[in-house]
Structure 1
Amino acid sequence: MSKIALITGATSGIGEACAHLFAREHYNLILTGRRGDRLDALAKKLNTKYNTEIAVCAFDVRDREQVISNLEELPAKWKKVNVLINNAGLSQGLDPIQNGSYDDWDTMIDTNVKGFLYVSKVVSNWMVEHKTGHIINLGSIAGKEVYPNGNVYCATKAAVDALNQAMRIDLVTQGIRVTAIHPGAVETEFSEVRFKGDKDRAKKVYAGFEPLVADDIAETIWFVVSRPPHVNINELTIMPTAQASATIISRK
């Protein structure tokens, strides 16, 4: 039977790129995200192109009961997940702490930390049962370096960094590999979501240099997953050549 990859946040960006790449590599897929219409369209496209089996689970990772019920209701054959890609995440706003929005804070913490944990708990138990698996956690340079007005977003990605290390410790005796990928500037819908649909402001984030694209991160994830079973890459930080740190970018 083909291996199975479960990808959260598969409706766009890095998650969608991972779906294409893992389908190409003959994985069956469990695709999750909030936008069911996008998931269905992606599943149809991948099935037609790669003849891969796909299960679609439309839910918001912030809703614990939705996460548990949707995943646990999958047929038993789908619970033999080989790779979990914890990709669902977002940023909201770019304000100093004193001006921050309570709602934005809740959205980021509930998605990037609590949602991440909900999915990880369910799927890691499946992996423990089968004594195998690989968990890929999408962090960020923001989890390594705090930048002006990044406050709560940086804190959530620092939490992912810490939880990645904790998972590695807790699951090492179970034969489960755990890896964090920490990207710098990647041009996806990320900035558009951060700026709540302001496309012009989002575009300026990537002006004057060549940013990473979603495929760059998907290919990095595939490299990590495709290492021999005795090899675990604990973490990787990947940035555009033009970016030296969270705040230093060479723009033309």
Structure 2
Amino acid sequence: MTRPIAVVTGASSGIGRATARKLASEGFEVVCAARRTERIEELAAEIDGRAVTCDVTKAADVGALAEAAGEQIAVLVANAGGALGTDPVADANFDDWRAMFETNVIGAASTIQACLPALRAAHGVIVTVGSTAGLVSYEGAAGYCGAKAAEHAMMMSLRLELWDQPVRVCEILPGLVESDEFSLVRFRGDAEKAAKVYTGVRNPLSQEDVADCIAFAATCPEHVNIDQLVVRPRAQAAAHKLYREDAQER
């Protein structure tokens, strides 16, 4: 039998890689898309999927990805993105801001745009991996919070625009996730700073936890749309209320 097609961007690590594995276990043929060719080729071989090298900030790459995926896409997980830096606005590096908007917002939008005809044909579902940072801002993250807020606004607009079409529009909005690269990239490879993000937090979300949520949204019956799914670890009641056992902070 022909397996339905799922496209996952940012599949070379973290939530994207975990999602590709999860969707493959659910019976999808997963098109693994990312910039790092060797990593996605290894992943595709592991899950019997396909690898397509793609930088979502490059229109030609996005077009090639949509073409490679084919005429019907059952699931698009627009996951490519991330955070850069923790500077306050007064000291912001606007090159970082531009990069975050290019990947998190424009990259997601261009991928959706390119894949939309195939999603319509398959009565498919679009899932973006946003963040609770797009709902509530915090210090030192104006650029990232702004990018994720823009992605969130884009998805709300898209849902209204596609109201009469057979495409579902879903957002997964995680809180604190301990993934293999997110904080490391944010702190430009400083492993000590990256590790401190999770210090004292018992059982932060794992990338597999988020992948499970994405798969749930993607595999609901066609009439069921998970508009927004906010998911946090139990230790995180809100963006600024995180229980750390070592410091006894609440």
Which TM bucket (shorter chain)? over 0.9
Asked if 1:45 corresponds to 2:40, the answer is no
Return 218-227 or 231-240, whichever deviates more: 218-227
Return closer, same or farther for 1:43/1:236 CA change in 2, 3 Å cut-off. Answer: same
1:163-202 C-alpha deviation (Å, 9 max, x unpaired): 1111111112111111101000001111101001011100
The amino acid across from 2:213 in the alignment is: T
1:74 to 68, 78, 89: 68
Q: Which residue of 2 aligns with 1:88?
A: 80
What is the SS of the residue equivalent to 1:181? strand
Alpha carbons 1:131, 1:174 under 8 Å: kept: no
CA distance in 2, matches of 1:249, 1:117: 32
Asked if 1:221 corresponds to 2:214, the answer is yes
Return closer, same or farther for 1:27/1:199 CA change in 2, 3 Å cut-off. Answer: same
Q: Which residue of 1 aligns with 2:126?
A: 135
Alpha carbons 2:88, 2:142 under 8 Å: kept: yes
CA distance in 1, matches of 2:239, 2:109: 25
Asked if 1:244 corresponds to 2:215, the answer is no
CA distance in 1, matches of 2:31, 2:150: 25
2:112 to 117, 120, 127: 120
Aligned residue runs from structure 1 range 1-252, under 5 A: 1-47=2-48, 54-68=49-63, 70-74=64-68, 78-128=70-120, 130=121, 132-188=123-179, 189-209=181-201, 210-252=203-245
CA distance in 2, matches of 1:99, 1:172: 42
CA apart distance, 1:66: 2.1
The aligned length equals: 242
CA distance in 2, matches of 1:79, 1:99: 46
CA distance in 2, matches of 1:15, 1:60: 14
CA apart distance, 1:72: 4.4
The amino acid across from 1:211 in the alignment is: P
1:98-136 C-alpha deviation (Å, 9 max, x unpaired): 2111221111011111111110101112223x1611000
Q: Which residue of 1 aligns with 2:248?
A: none
1:56-115 C-alpha deviation (Å, 9 max, x unpaired): 1112111122212x224427xx33100000110110000101211122111101111111
Unaligned runs of 5+ in 2: 246-250
CA apart distance, 1:55: 2.4
CA apart distance, 1:141: 0.6
Structure-1-length-normalised TM-score: 0.93
Structure-2-length-normalised TM-score: 0.94
Q: Which residue of 2 aligns with 1:50?
A: none
Could you list the structure 1 runs, at least 4 aligned residues long, displaced by more than 6 angstroms after superposition: none
Q: Which residue of 2 aligns with 1:51?
A: none
CA distance in 1, matches of 2:174, 2:193: 21
Alpha carbons 2:5, 2:74 under 8 Å: kept: yes
CA distance in 2, matches of 1:143, 1:242: 20
CA distance in 2, matches of 1:124, 1:43: 23
Q: RMSD value over aligned CA atoms?
A: 1.2
The amino acid across from 1:216 in the alignment is: D
The amino acid across from 2:138 in the alignment is: Y
CA distance in 2, matches of 1:159, 1:111: 12
Identity of aligned residues (%): 38
Alpha carbons 1:136, 1:179 under 8 Å: kept: yes
